[in-house]
Amino acid sequence: DLRATMIAVAGFFGGPVAGIVAGVMAGAFRTFEGGIGAFAGAVGIAAAMLVGVAGNLALKGRRATMIDIMILGAAAAAASLLGLSVLPRDVLQMVLPKVALPSSLLIFVSVVLSGLTLYQERRRLEALQSRRIYKAVVETLPDCLNVKDLDGRFIAANPATAELMHAADAKALIGKTDFDFFPRETAQGFRQDELAVLASGASSTIEQRLHHEDGTDGWLATLKAPFRDRSGAIIGLITHNRDITVRKQLENELAESQARLGDALTHMADGLVMFDPDGRLVLCNARYRAMFPKTADMRVPGADYRD
């Protein structure tokens, strides 16, 4: 009677409610069937239900391991003997030598096999859920994220990468290289950066100039890291790109403004100086320093006017 297997497994993996429901339904049906072994069958079913529920509670919320499943199988096999123990003495003496060992062994094996099947299925579902989460994160990431093989061919990419490369979608990148989307000079520069990371075996953060076939330009802040297999061997390259074109434009504009300001200060006919609230020199022009020839070398940013 393998009903004990299903009841124990239901209680162990499904929890107390599942175990009790399965046990009550099986017990009610066995009682309805009647016969000399009805009470013994009900006892065996109750024992299997208690074993499964107790096993679930013993886990205390943690995931079941293969060892836990083996223990469940042994406990269910032992519990099955309780049903035989309540049989009439004459019946017990007749069936015990022939039924006890095969029945216990069969229940142990069936519980272990059923448990391992559910264990593997649960792991598969968890892995599938994790994969869906990772995929959602990668696809919604506003920055570019992609993986290439050792030859520079894309093997994975998110939509942001496709948008950066002016490709139709991420699938259009698979199997292709930068040479299929960028001018040769730009693609060669990207490939040299990749080869440097592959040769060193260490991650690298760099800034890259970007040129498109349509003539538009841009800048990327790029992180490249080796992609390794389980043995640690490098099998590709992971790249994360962030578009910093606007930031570079602002930096260039700031540098130009500072250069123009410096040029204006240098050619002013009058001396100009600025101090902070603490009396430290912030900036001054050459004309100002020329007005104090003996201390000109001391009149530099950071100097205290009291000195």
Q: Which residues contact 40 (CB under 8 A, 6 or more apart)?
A: 83, 84, 86, 87
List the helix and strand counts (H, then E) for the chain. 9, 7
What is the predicted pLDDT for the residue at 187? 94
The mean predicted confidence, pLDDT, of the chain is 86
Q: Which residues contact 42 (CB under 8 A, 6 or more apart)?
A: 27, 30, 31, 83
Query: Per DSSP, what are the bridge partners of residue 211?
Result: 217
pLDDT tens track for 132-148: 888 888 888 899 999 99
What is the predicted pLDDT for the residue at 117? 92
Q: Which of 303, 296, 263 is nearest to 282 (CA)?
A: 303
What is the predicted pLDDT for the residue at 94? 60
CATH H superfamily, domain 141-245: PAS domain (3.30.450.20)
What is the predicted pLDDT for the residue at 86? 62
Residue ranges, the chain, pLDDT below 70: 1, 35-38, 40, 83-100, 307
Task: Spell out the domain ranges in the chain.
Answer: 3-137, 141-245, 248-298
